[in-house]
Amino acid sequence: MEPWQQTLIDDIHQITTSNVQAWGSIIQKLGIGETCLKEWTSTFKEEIQDVMGAIVEEVANKQLCLIEDIEKLLKQSELLCKQLSVQMPAFGVENLGLYNDKQALEDQVKELKDKVDLRMKEINELIRREVEVCKSLGRKAVKISDCPLPSSESIEKYTLKIEALENEKYLRDEKFTTLKQEIQQLALELQFKPSIEFERQILSANDVDFIVSDVNMKMLEDFHISMVNQVETVKAEVCALREKIKSLWEILDEDLQDCDVFLRRYPGNTLDTLEGLKLEVKRCEDLKKANIEVFIKKMRAEIIDLWNKCCLTEEERTYFDSFYDDLFTEDLLTLHDIEICKLKKEYENNKELYEMLQLREDLWSKLLELEERANAPNRYKNRGGQLLKEEKERNTLSKRIPKIEEKLYVLVENYQTQVGKPFSYWGETIDSVIKKSYETRQQDKKLKLSARKQQRVLTVTPGKSTMCVAGTSTMATPNILKATPLRNDNRSNRKGGLATPLFSNRKKSADKIKHMKSAPPKIQLNGMGITKLRYSSEKKKRVDRIRRLSKLIEVQKKKNADLDYNSFEGLVPIAETTIDLVDS
């Protein structure tokens, strides 16, 4: 027995004793009989028993209610744990009593309910997001099951799936916006008019109603591709038609003012422009057919020009035998038109190659011209540093031409790879043309050098005979000095100290030449040989000095084939000294 129970019994015993004594005292005073006393005593006991029974019954009922509540709470807890997919916690292990057990179960059930409510709220939000994104993507939403409630792992996977769908929708929205803007720009450029509802929806300003579904995105991409292709096609057609119209106008001798008005009426690359150009081509073609002979002759002139641009030989031109046909018909006109288109295409496809060839030819001609000037006898008469400028330009061309030739070889190789045949330039290969140009240049140099040597051998004058060596026919130093520029001592007759030839119109040089001619000859010509006369020892020393100076000048000329102005001035004192020695 628990202490509190013993205490309660003691208290009830005391209460019962005092009350029974008080009741008995009253009964005794009443003086009732024995029979009545037994009845009253029995009633008193029954009343006490009833009260005690009622109290016990009430407590028992409370116990039953608690047990029922606990059972309900247990069922709720079990259901909630099942929904949450968690294990049922242990119950009644600590023997805390029904009240405590009920309170613990209530707290546990409340906690489980909160978890369920939170998870249900999370699931409902995810379902709402899935439905919304699937509607935008034109797909059917696959909702997650809420009975039992999904686990945390399932919810996480479901969340990742929805995020992937939302990311896909975002990317499609971006793509839709980009493609729509491009399509609208292309439609504006073409002045395109939509013909179906989908095209009108894309070209409208409203973006809300568009569903970025798989089907719609595929249609959008196809529409964009078709618009891009249409713009490119229209541009190409408009460009070709404009060129054709200009060619037809030239043949028809159309009024330039009318042509200008027409071009202003149909600007850009719109569909309306394309239609207008087609009508103009048809009009010009009809006029051309009415004057077939005139047009064919003009087209033949254009073909000749294209032949020249493509560098075709006479033999290569004969393949187009219709060019020589005198029966002017529409078929012949068509053949000439086809040939012009073919030649234009050939030229345009290899325009870089033809332009590079022309550039190389121009630079080569310039190089030959500069070399011709460099070897000219009167090249030192140029003033103002022209020799130096020409030398720099010649060096630049000598470096630039090989680079152009390397590019030509690359272009020719690409042409042969694409076309399958070697490139022909006036009936020759590029390699042959370049090699011949170098060979011709080398031969010309040899011929000119041989001519100059022969001229030196044949040219012998009395004034220069003092430099001849017996038994030889080579010209001596005076000939070299004659072509060597000297500085004019008479500086009052010129400005800037420019170089002039040694034997120019100067008075001093003329007097020296006159003196040399009037002097008695120093040599005798005996048949094929030259015999040196006897000199005095002083005269012989002078001749030796002149020879040494001549050799010095010759070496200097070999080092500087084309003298600039500064090098030229350096040789002037040597040449003047030589003249003084000859005079003496």
What is the mean pLDDT of the segment spanning 63-81?
87
What is the mean pLDDT of the segment spanning 77-99?
76
What is the mean pLDDT of the segment spanning 87-112?
80
Can you list the pairs that 422-431 forms with residues at least 24 positions away whose Cβ atoms lie under 8 Å? 423/350, 423/353, 424/311, 424/312, 424/313, 424/316, 425/311, 425/357, 426/311, 426/312, 426/313, 427/313, 427/315, 427/316, 430/357
The model's confidence at residue 536, banded by pLDDT at 50, 70 and 90, is: low
Q: Are strands 485-487 and 529-532 parallel, antiparallel or unpaired?
A: unpaired
The model's confidence at residue 435, banded by pLDDT at 50, 70 and 90, is: very high
Average of per-residue pLDDT values in the chain: 77
The per-residue pLDDT for 278 is 92
The per-residue pLDDT for 361 is 92
Least confident span in 81-95, 133-147, 564-578: 564-578
The per-residue pLDDT for 524 is 41
Tell whether the model's pLDDT for residue 460 goes beyond 50: no
The per-residue pLDDT for 539 is 67
The model's confidence at residue 40, banded by pLDDT at 50, 70 and 90, is: confident
Hey, is 140 helix, strand or coil?
coil
- Quote the CA–CA distance of 296 and 339 in Å, as a whole number: 12
Give Cα separations from 503 to 139, 521, 583 (angstroms).
104, 20, 14
The per-residue pLDDT for 533 is 43
Q: What are phi and psi of 88, to 5 degrees?
A: -65, 125
The per-residue pLDDT for 515 is 42
The 8-class DSSP code of residue 523 comes to E
Whole-number percent of the chain with pLDDT over 70: 77
Helices 351-374, 430-458: inter-axial angle, 10-degree rounding: 10
The per-residue pLDDT for 381 is 64
* Amino acid in position 269: N
> Residue written as tokens 């100059």?
452
Structure tokens at 561: 């084939």
Q: Verify cis geometry, omega within 30 degrees of 0, for the bond prior to 501.
A: no
Least confident span in 72-76, 88-92, 116-120, 139-143: 88-92
156-194 pLDDT, tens digit each: 888 899 999 999 989 988 998 889 889 988 888 888 888
Tell whether the model's pLDDT for residue 87 goes beyond 90: no
The model's confidence at residue 76, banded by pLDDT at 50, 70 and 90, is: confident
Which are the contacts of 238, defined by CB distance < 8 A and separation ≥ 6?
Answer: 269, 273, 274, 277
Hey, is 406 helix, strand or coil?
helix
333-350 pLDDT, tens digit each: 889 989 998 999 999 999
498-529 pLDDT, tens digit each: 333 333 333 334 444 344 444 444 434 334 33
Whole-number percent of the chain with pLDDT over 90: 16
The per-residue pLDDT for 542 is 66
Torsion of CA 317, 323, 325, 331, to 10 degrees: 130
Tell whether the model's pLDDT for residue 366 goes beyond 80: yes
Least confident span in 12-26, 278-292, 483-497: 483-497
The per-residue pLDDT for 555 is 66
What is the mean pLDDT of the segment spanning 71-88?
83
185-234 pLDDT, tens digit each: 888 888 888 888 888 888 887 766 788 888 888 999 999 999 999 999 99
Tell whether the model's pLDDT for residue 135 goes beyond 90: no
414-434 pLDDT, tens digit each: 998 888 888 888 888 989 999
What is the mean pLDDT of the segment spanning 546-572?
57
Least confident span in 18-22, 64-68, 226-230, 473-477: 473-477
> Residue written as tokens 């150009």?
277
The per-residue pLDDT for 439 is 92
269-326 pLDDT, tens digit each: 888 888 999 999 998 888 877 788 888 888 899 999 999 999 999 988 988 989 988 8
Give Cα separations from 198 to 135, 183, 195 (angstroms).
19, 13, 9
The per-residue pLDDT for 229 is 92
Hey, is 329 helix, strand or coil?
coil
Higher-pLDDT residue of 250, 527? 250
